[in-house]
Amino acid sequence: MRLIYRFLSTLCVLIAVSSVAAAQNSEGPFYDVEPGDTLFSIANQFGLTVQAIQDTNAITDPSILAIGQRLLLPGYDGIVGLVGTRPLLLGESIRTLPVQLANERNILVQLNRIINPAALYLGQPLIHLEPDELGTAPTGEFVIAGLKDTMIGLALRAGTSPFELKLINGWPTKRLLLAGDFVYLPGGKILENLPTPFRHISIVPERPEQGQTVVLRVMGESEGTVTGRFGEDELNFFETENQHVALFGIDAMVTPGVYPLVMSVSTADGDSAALEIRIPVSDAGYQMQSIVLPPGKAQLLLDEEARTSEDVAIKSAATGFSSYGHWDGKFQSPITSDYITTHFGLRRSYNGGPFQTLHGGVDFGAPEGTPIHAPAAGEIVLAEELRIRGNATLIDHGYGVYTAYWHQSELSVSVGQKVQSGEVIGHVGDSGLSTGPHLHWEVWVNGVRVDPLEWLGAKIP
Ligand SMILES: [Zn+2]
């Protein structure tokens, strides 16, 4: 019996020794442990399991990890050297990355397990070989094709053939080069007078949640026009301080995932370029709420036709774009009460029905008659008694931003009236489909309802 134990333990020691030997013999890829790393975070970063790293590196205690310790990463056959990670930056794609990271395309594809190059998203952690570990760093250039550039023209200038150029760029079937295409030119030839219409782009926040407002700023090389689209929504740009700015909302009901943001710039001298960036939209974690309404009021919700026609009327009144913004700086709170009874984004179920309804605004509880103030200057575009929303007012603040006030005690303003920031535009009531006196306040941005509280906390744009 004792002999068997001894035999088994010897065997285990042998296995451990052989795996250490394997780790030392291999040429990588390796990762050097950095401050703040844990085996778990490293495993996450490289799409591995803690156990796999432990096994490969013969680590018995995963909690002991030294800064600078060199770990062999399993599962990357044929890749030699030291690897690191960094997030995907604006404007980068699988075509630009080989140059920007000085890594070969196939190595990046293998390291990052890229199956669909179009699904790379901003901020995505990218695994790459560290430059000083590279045997043969590519020395090519990355350029943006201009209107006059052709596949053969660029190939000749780079000292290669169109066939090779297409292969290198991963375009086996592409026939025509379009202005704005990112082209990797091998051989390190730098082209002169290239159009670089995109001088600067900023997106805040870069990784929005459902219900957030996004501020997009684009700076072009010279005078020109900027257009864009987020998902299915066309963007409207206005100009301020030499920048083209577009505000847009992330729909609170949208499925979390990656959505395309497409922008194009055309300069006065005829150059143009388009850029597509993937924006990851994350789940805001909205709560669910069940509401029980008395039979009389519930009847109104069941009236599909009444509900839909009101929704359509509101959406069309709250969608539009005037190129003059009526506000400067932060929005003021529309009410002195800071007693919030219901936040934005809640999924609601009425009288036991499905959780299909979005609470598209924020509810402030306040006594009947409490004054409501305009949060910023604007123009009244709707002042009407509605069946569900009660006495309803809508203000256009310009640049595609609207605010809405439902369930008021009475209507105090009329359509076409200009209002100043802080001006009283109505009073808290209990009209329409309401369960007590409160102000339901909404903010619409580019036709989408967003979390209004964001507008009180920050200066937008
Ligand atoms: Zn409400």
Q: Cα of 363 to ligand 1 centre, how many Å?
A: 5
pLDDT band at 187 (very low <50, low <70, confident <90, very high): low
Q: Is there a domain that residue 305 lies in? A: yes
Q: Cα of 209 to ligand 1 centre, how many Å?
A: 21
Q: Cα of 367 to ligand 1 centre, how many Å?
A: 15
Give the residue from 156, 215, 211 showing the smallest Cα distance to 187. Answer: 156
Q: Cα of 440 to ligand 1 centre, how many Å?
A: 4
Q: Cα of 300 to ligand 1 centre, how many Å?
A: 16
**Average pLDDT, stretch 23-39?**
73
Judgement on whether residues 215 and 336 belong to the same structural domain of the protein:
no
298 touches 350 (CB < 8 A): yes
- Residue 186: the pLDDT is 66
pLDDT band at 142 (very low <50, low <70, confident <90, very high): low
Q: Cα of 361 to ligand 1 centre, how many Å?
A: 6
Q: Cα of 91 to ligand 1 centre, how many Å?
A: 40
Q: Cα of 343 to ligand 1 centre, how many Å?
A: 8
Q: Cα of 391 to ligand 1 centre, how many Å?
A: 13
Q: Cα of 232 to ligand 1 centre, how many Å?
A: 27
Q: Cα of 443 to ligand 1 centre, how many Å?
A: 12
Q: Cα of 326 to ligand 1 centre, how many Å?
A: 25
Whether pLDDT at 18 is above 50: no
- Residue 134: the pLDDT is 41
Judgement on whether residues 340 and 260 belong to the same structural domain of the protein:
no
Q: Cα of 342 to ligand 1 centre, how many Å?
A: 7
**Average pLDDT, stretch 140-154?**
75
Q: Is there a domain that residue 196 lies in? A: no
Q: Cα of 318 to ligand 1 centre, how many Å?
A: 17
Q: How many residues does the chain have?
A: 461
Q: Cα of 347 to ligand 1 centre, how many Å?
A: 12
Q: Cα 54 to chain center, whole Å?
A: 35
Judgement on whether residues 355 and 299 belong to the same structural domain of the protein:
yes
Q: Cα of 61 to ligand 1 centre, how many Å?
A: 53
Q: Is there a domain that residue 373 lies in? A: yes
Q: Cα of 333 to ligand 1 centre, how many Å?
A: 16
**Average pLDDT, stretch 248-256?**
93
Q: Cα of 386 to ligand 1 centre, how many Å?
A: 15
Angle at which helices 2-25 and 50-57 pack, to 10 degrees?
Answer: 90
Q: Cα of 422 to ligand 1 centre, how many Å?
A: 22
Tell which of 216, 250, 281 closes a domain: 281
Percent of the chain with pLDDT strictly greater than 70: 85
Q: Cα of 235 to ligand 1 centre, how many Å?
A: 28
**Residue of higher predicted confidence among 379 and 206:** 379
Tell which of 243, 258, 281 closes a domain: 281
Q: Cα of 251 to ligand 1 centre, how many Å?
A: 17
Judgement on whether residues 331 and 394 belong to the same structural domain of the protein:
yes
Q: Cα of 434 to ligand 1 centre, how many Å?
A: 8
Judgement on whether residues 205 and 180 belong to the same structural domain of the protein:
no
Judgement on whether residues 51 and 95 belong to the same structural domain of the protein:
no
Judgement on whether residues 447 and 378 belong to the same structural domain of the protein:
yes
Q: Is there a domain that residue 194 lies in? A: no
Q: Cα of 419 to ligand 1 centre, how many Å?
A: 23
The enclosing domain of 422 has a CATH number of 2.70.70.10
The enclosing domain of 247 has a CATH number of 2.60.40.10
pLDDT band at 12 (very low <50, low <70, confident <90, very high): very low
**Average pLDDT, stretch 176-195?**
59
Q: Cα of 323 to ligand 1 centre, how many Å?
A: 30
- Residue 394: the pLDDT is 98
Q: Cα of 329 to ligand 1 centre, how many Å?
A: 26
Tell which of 256, 281, 306 closes a domain: 281
Q: Cα of 433 to ligand 1 centre, how many Å?
A: 10
Residue-wise pLDDT for 305-363, tens only, equals 888 899 999 999 999 998 777 777 779 999 998 899 999 999 988 888 888 789 999 99
- Give the residue numbers spanning the domain of 369: 288-457
Judgement on whether residues 306 and 438 belong to the same structural domain of the protein:
yes
User: Which of the given ranges, 36-40, 49-53, 295-299, has the highest pLDDT on average?
Assistant: 49-53
All residues at 6 or more sequence positions from 205 whose CB lies less than 8 Å from its CB, including other chains = 212, 214
Q: Cα of 257 to ligand 1 centre, how many Å?
A: 27
**Average pLDDT, stretch 451-457?**
90
Q: Cα of 337 to ligand 1 centre, how many Å?
A: 15
**Average pLDDT, stretch 395-420?**
96
Whether pLDDT at 246 is above 90: yes
Q: Cα of 432 to ligand 1 centre, how many Å?
A: 11
Judgement on whether residues 302 and 444 belong to the same structural domain of the protein:
yes
Judgement on whether residues 247 and 209 belong to the same structural domain of the protein:
yes
For residue 334, with 0-12 CB atoms within 10 Å meaning exposed, 13-18 middle and 19 or more buried, which class applies? buried
**Average pLDDT, stretch 236-259?**
89
76 touches 128 (CB < 8 A): no
Q: Cα of 410 to ligand 1 centre, how many Å?
A: 17
Residue-wise pLDDT for 285-306, tens only, equals 898 888 887 777 667 666 778 8
The whole-chain average pLDDT of the chain stands at 81
The enclosing domain of 154 has a CATH number of 3.10.350
**Average pLDDT, stretch 135-144?**
54
Q: Cα of 407 to ligand 1 centre, how many Å?
A: 9
Count up the domains in the chain and report the number.
5
Judgement on whether residues 257 and 380 belong to the same structural domain of the protein:
no
User: Which of the given ranges, 89-93, 335-339, 392-396, has the highest pLDDT on average?
Assistant: 392-396
Q: Cα of 10 to ligand 1 centre, how many Å?
A: 71
Q: Which residues surround ligand 1, an ion (CB under 5 A)?
A: 363, 440
Q: Cα of 362 to ligand 1 centre, how many Å?
A: 6
Q: Cα of 455 to ligand 1 centre, how many Å?
A: 17
The enclosing domain of 51 has a CATH number of 3.10.350.10
d(CA 324, CA 451): 23
